[in-house]
Amino acid sequence: MRIGKSEAQKIEKKCLIEKGKILHSENLFRILAEQSSDIIFISNREGLVIYVNPALEKCLGLKPDEMIGTIQFDIIHPDDLNSIMNAIDTLLSDLNAPVQHREVRLRHKDGSWRIFDAVGSMLTRNNVIEHIMIELRDITERKKMEEELLFIKKAMEDSSDAIGIKDLQRDQFYMNKAIIELFEYTPEELRAAGGATAIYVNKDIAREVLDTIRAGKSWNGETEMVSKSGREIPVILRADAIKDEKGKTVGIIGVHTDITERKRAEVQLEQTLERLRNAIEATVKVLVSALESRDPYTAGHQSRCAKLACAIAQEMGLDKEKIEGILMAGVIHDIGKLSVPSEILSKPTKLTNLEYLLIKQHSQSGYEMLKHVESPWPLAQIVHQHHERMDGSGYPHNLKNDEIIIEARILAVADVVEAMASHRPYRQALGIEKALEEIEKNKGILYDESVAAACLRLFREKDYQLT
């Protein structure tokens, strides 16, 4: 049967159209493949590579020409080779086989291993499998990030600190095991209770923390939290902003350290210290009474000296602990005079050199009496040093400057002022002005300059009175 010219032209036109479609499809595929950031391999049924796109060089450092016409199974990690071969066999054995999806490690030209997400599919013509196409997407960095996130998550879960994270954009919470156990809320329960504010005893602190974080700063301090059952829990809270790549605050991470036991221990310690203070005060009263019975002048001097020393310490801004120590030491600083014969202490005439040497021993004797007394303050050391002088001319060890503790330097000035201003069996009182002249004349020489200045301010500007 002969085909007419008109019919032949129709057939030829149809063939040209089909060929054009094929060429267009092939050209379109090539453009897409050439521009793709994923590696695209096409191999025949025997595994021979017939095409690979330029992404190969970017991802594995190999040029496409190095792969085309070869079978390159040697770039596949040995532990992944069987999985890839099984996937290829599955595709070649069945036209209806599903797309194969695997993770595979491929060796870079520099010897390192990169991780790829591999998708294998068939290229068929007239229901015949002609080629296998494998698309490979480099997920090395993603896998690394996933591993880091898993590590961080594991560390958070294993942490004894209660860690909570609030996603400000999605209004979601992440809470580790410790925080759920501590506050008794699940993330869902906390959201239903009104958010993280629910666990704060002081809602103003909650707002302060949130405002601080939104300003891109950290909040760190002690506060009180409350559990779902109403148990109040003292914690140290460290709250930090989580920021995106543009520096915008997108979340909050809070680390809560339960300090209930520490607070309980602090209370017990304070109670122990209070008992110790009471015991020391009782001991001091006994010692003062013993000294009063032998020398009423010395006892009154100690009391006035202790008050003045505390006033000087307050004027200098010393802390409460140091001031308490100065008070305790002040009222017994001459306790060593118990070892001095009472007739010398109350002698109404000038002392001989020998008698004066006996008197000078009282600071050493006082130290020996107090050195084994348990105390939160350096009582023995203060008593020992209260006659030392800044230039080294004092006694018993000729200490200088910072070798003398600040409490003893304060007590030294108070001791001189009270002694000169008050009556003694062997002389009349010299008066407060004479005493202050002595301090002013020798400040920075015999007496600590800052201590002397504080003492002078008390009397000349604040009208302090010895009582």
Q: CA-to-CA distance for 288 and 291, rounded, in angstroms? A: 5
> What is the rounded average pLDDT of the residues 109-129?
88
- pLDDT at residue 25 greater than cutoff 60: no
Instruction: Return the pLDDT at 425.
Output: 66
Is 126 a member of any domain? yes
pLDDT class of 7 with cuts at 50, 70, 90: low
Q: What is the pTM of this model?
A: 0.49
pLDDT class of 228 with cuts at 50, 70, 90: very high
Bigger pLDDT: 97 vs 255: 255
Instruction: Return the pLDDT at 298.
Output: 63
pLDDT class of 411 with cuts at 50, 70, 90: very high
- pLDDT at residue 284 greater than cutoff 80: no
Specify whether 246 is located in the same domain as 293: no
> What is the rounded average pLDDT of the residues 427-438?
88
Count of domains for the chain? 4
- pLDDT at residue 410 greater than cutoff 90: yes
pLDDT, averaged across the chain: 85
Instruction: Return the pLDDT at 172.
Output: 82
Is 245 a member of any domain? yes
pLDDT class of 33 with cuts at 50, 70, 90: low
CATH number at residue 84: 3.30.450.20
Specify whether 282 is located in the same domain as 351: yes
Specify whether 9 is located in the same domain as 48: no
Q: Which of 200, 226, 258 corresponds to the end of one domain?
A: 258
Is 146 a member of any domain? no
Q: CA-to-CA distance for 17 and 89, rounded, in angstroms? A: 36
pLDDT class of 454 with cuts at 50, 70, 90: very high
Specify whether 59 is located in the same domain as 86: yes
Is 154 a member of any domain? no
Specify whether 251 is located in the same domain as 286: no
Instruction: Return the pLDDT at 295.
Output: 66
Tens digit of pLDDT for each residue in 314-368? 999 999 999 999 998 998 898 888 887 777 777 777 778 888 788 889 899 999 9
Which one-letter amino acid corresponds to residue 165? I
CATH number at residue 361: 1.10.3210.10
Is 149 a member of any domain? no
Tens digit of pLDDT for each residue in 34-86? 778 899 888 888 888 888 898 999 999 999 888 888 877 788 999 999 998 88
Structure tokens at 76: 């596949």
Is 147 a member of any domain? no
* C-beta separation of 256 from 237 below 8 A: yes
Bigger pLDDT: 54 vs 448: 448
pLDDT class of 128 with cuts at 50, 70, 90: confident
Domain that holds residue 351: 264-460
> What is the rounded average pLDDT of the residues 399-422?
95
- pLDDT at residue 20 greater than cutoff 60: no
> Quick check: bond before 396 cis, omega within 30?
yes
> What is the rounded average pLDDT of the residues 432-441?
94
